[in-house]
Amino acid sequence: MTRRDPFTEIEDLLERMGEEFEELGGTLDSPGPGVPGFPGARDVDVDVIEDDESITVLADLPGFDADEIELELRDETLSIAATREETRDVEAAVDESDAGADDGGDEADPDDTGETDVRYHRHERRHRAVSRRIPIPEPVERDGATASYDDGVLTVTLPKRSSSDGAGHSIDVS
């Protein structure tokens, strides 16, 4: 009964190709041969901009809170990771109006009861956990690194410097 849909197959093929290219790209980009490719690297689109004083990384992270974003700079690689709670944003937008209409007798997890009422016609925004590693091409001043999050875009500014050390350093997101 399961008929094969040629469009699904093409789509699957494109997806696999994309993953393989991304793995290949990750391997080429990584600072050393021992660093493995990073799965899910396509999840976050980044710009890396260099000027005389600093290297600036811009990352699209729509729908996260600043405290859900983690940054680490280690071995000249900037790691960005963001995780949000499941169904949080949609439920928050609708639950308040629904809560009065529904009977409150059920003690179950509100996520479970909310889920039964919603039907997704499109569900493209399904990334709840994303991450990306970006090699930084020049030594940077770890202590001078700053980060901000506005309108779903993370901006990390890394001042350049001449010498380098290898210790990992965590950057606060303001």
Among 2, 36, 51, 162, binds another protein (CB under 8 A): 51
Residue 50 corresponds to which tokens in the numbers above? 């260099």
Per-residue tokens: 73: 């700079």
Indicate which single residue of 4, 33, 36, 93 sits in contact with another protein (rule: CB under 8 A). Answer: 93
Q: Does 48 help bind another protein (rule: CB under 8 A)?
A: yes
Q: Indicate the residue among 18 and 144 with the shorter CB distance to another protein.
A: 18
DSSP 8-state code for residue 107: -
Binding window for another protein (CB under 8 A); candidates: 32-40, 55-63, 73-81, 156-164? 55-63
Q: How far is CA 131 from CA 38, 94, 134, in A?
A: 9, 28, 10
Handedness of CA 137, 156, 173, 149 (dihedral sign): negative
Show the site string, 109-148: x = touches another protein by CB under 8 A, - = not: --------xxxxxxxxx--------x--x-----------
Site for another protein in 13-32 (CB under 8 A): 14-15, 18
As given in the structure block, the two tokens for residue 172 are 């606060």
Q: How many CB atoms lie within 10 A of CB 58?
A: 14
Cα–Cα nearest to 76, from 171, 9, 164: 164
Residues contributing to the site for another protein (CB under 8 A): 5, 7-8, 11, 14-15, 18, 42, 45-52, 55, 58, 60-65, 89-90, 93-94, 98, 101, 117-125, 134, 137, 149, 151-153
